[in-house]
């Protein structure tokens, strides 16, 4: 079955989240998904423009939505922050006629509501029947005991980013990891903030938030954390300090690629700050 989506990679997938970008594209290719990158896309303004308010915060992501209109496809967005900004702008384009007309004039494109922003995790957990994913598996993730970490942006605010999973008690990532052969551990921190937006100016707060999350993951009996947010992954992977046994932090697409036996994904694990390869070798998931 052929599937195609407009693709908004965002800035992070070209910098600190390269592993996410490579693994997302590889997994989608293996699933027969065509990702058609939006031509001439721009930064969505997350972590900078929206903190100042004003028109720029909505204009930056709105431009990307208008550029995607000719594709008339859902927009696959890996980054949680980008997804939130594009979803917010899409809502304003629908509801604010003056803003819509202004953006149409700037871009020379007409807004038809034909390109709906969607989180990549939503697409992976909603558009593929379990049996279709199961048929692609080559290496079940037996022994891996992850906690699913959505972070605070992927499902919030619910009136903008929610609707595809429960905002307070999400389950879809757990179900996907279980399908891959892992044993997800229950915990109550799946949507807590990791402090990524403060990582440059309030390292003390970030260290406390990250420590709290990793402690909770350990208490839950987990041996790794899995996320679909590049800001969360970079923060959790790089802010564990001098913990005697730091916990690996995976992108969900990395584990999908591992379970599907995709060599280009397996080669990404050496790029992590907390090296996950000893854990994977101990479990027999890597040679």
Same-domain pairing of 146 and 217 = yes
Phi, psi of 102 (to 5 degrees): -65, -45
Q: How confident is the model at residue 48 (pLDDT cuts 50, 70, 90)?
A: confident
Q: Is the pLDDT assigned to residue 1 strictly greater than 60? A: no
Same domain, 44 and 99: yes
pLDDT on residue 217: 99
- Terminal Cα-to-Cα distance of the chain (whole angstroms): 33
Number of independent structural domains in the chain: 2
pLDDT tens digits for 228-248? Answer: 999 999 999 999 988 899 999
d(CA 122, CA 263): 25
Domain residues for 201? 138-282
User: Would 12 be classed as within a structural domain?
Assistant: yes
Q: Does 144 share its domain with 117?
A: no
Per-residue pLDDT band for 74 (boundaries 50, 70, 90) equals very high
pLDDT for the residue 55: 86
Alpha-carbon dihedral sign for residues 2, 181, 271, 221: positive
pTM: 0.96
pLDDT, tens digit (0-9, with 9 covering 90-100), for 16-42: 999 999 999 999 999 999 999 999 999
What phi, psi does 108 have (nearest 5°)?
70, 15
φ, ψ at 183 (rounded to 5°): -120, 85
Q: For the chain, give the percent of residues with pLDDT over 70.
A: 98
CATH number for 19? 1.20.1050.140
Residue 86 has phi, psi (to 5 degrees) of -70, -35
33 Cβ contact partners less than 8 Å away, ≥ 6 residues apart: 3, 4, 5
Residues 6+ apart with CB under 8 A from 127: 3
| Contacts (Cβ under 8 Å, ≥6 apart) of 102 | none
Q: Looking at residues 138-146, what average pLDDT do you find?
A: 98
Residue 191 has pLDDT above 80, yes or no: yes
Do residues 29 and 82 share a domain? yes
Q: Quick one: which of 209, 18, 40 has its CA closest to 109?
A: 40
pLDDT band at 47 (very low <50, low <70, confident <90, very high): confident
Q: Which of 87, 121, 155 is the last residue of a domain?
A: 121
Integer angstrom CA distances of residue 201 from 155, 188, 197: 25, 27, 9
Indicate the pLDDT class of residue 50, thresholds 50, 70 and 90: low
For residue 137, give the nearest of 31, 250, 57, 1 by alpha carbon: 31
- What is the overall mean pLDDT for the chain? 95
From 86, 121, 156, give the residue that closes a domain. 121
Q: How far apart are CA 193 and CA 209, in angstroms?
A: 7
The per-residue pLDDT for range 194-225, each reduced to its tens digit, is: 998 887 788 889 999 999 999 999 999 999 99
Residue 192 and residue 265 in one domain: yes
Write the pLDDT tens digit of every residue in 91-133.
Answer: 999 999 999 999 999 999 999 999 999 999 999 999 999 999 9
CATH for 257 = 3.40.50.11810
Cα 101 versus chain centre, distance:
31
State residue 2's pLDDT score. Answer: 61
């Amino acid at each position: 079955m052929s599937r195609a989506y407009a693709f908004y990679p965002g800035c992070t997938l070209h910098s600190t989240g390269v592993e996410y970008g490579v693994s997302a594209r590889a997994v989608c290719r293996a699933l027969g998904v065509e990702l058609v990158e939006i031509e001439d896309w721009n930064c969505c303004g997350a972590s900078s423009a929206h903190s100042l308010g004003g028109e720029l915060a909505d204009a930056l992501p709105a431009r990307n939505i208008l550029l995607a209109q000719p594709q008339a496809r859902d927009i696959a967005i890996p980054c949680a922050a980008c997804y939130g900004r594009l979803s917010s702008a899409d809502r304003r384009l629908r509801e604010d006629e003056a803003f819509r007309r202004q953006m149409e004039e700037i871009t020379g494109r007409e807004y038809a509501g034909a390109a709906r922003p969607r989180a990549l995790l939503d697409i992976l957990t909603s558009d593929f029947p379990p049996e279709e994913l199961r048929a692609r598996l080559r290496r079940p993730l037996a022994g891996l005991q992850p906690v699913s970490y959505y972070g605070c942006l992927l499902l919030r605010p619910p009136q903008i980013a929610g609707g595809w999973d429960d905002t307070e008690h999400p389950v879809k990532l757990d179900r996907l990891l279980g399908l891959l052969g892992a044993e997800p551990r229950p915990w109550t921190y799946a949507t807590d903030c990791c402090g990524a937006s403060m990582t440059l100016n309030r390292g003390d707060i970030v260290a406390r938030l990250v420590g709290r999350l990793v402690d909770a993951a350990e208490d839950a009996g987990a041996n790794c954390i899995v996320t679909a947010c590049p800001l969360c992954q970079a923060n959790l992977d790089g802010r564990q300090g001098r913990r005697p046994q730091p916990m690996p932090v995976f992108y969900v697409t990395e584990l999908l690629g591992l379970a599907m036996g995709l060599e280009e994904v397996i080669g990404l694990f050496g790029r992590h700050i907390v090296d996950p390869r000893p854990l994977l070798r101990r479990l027999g998931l890597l040679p």
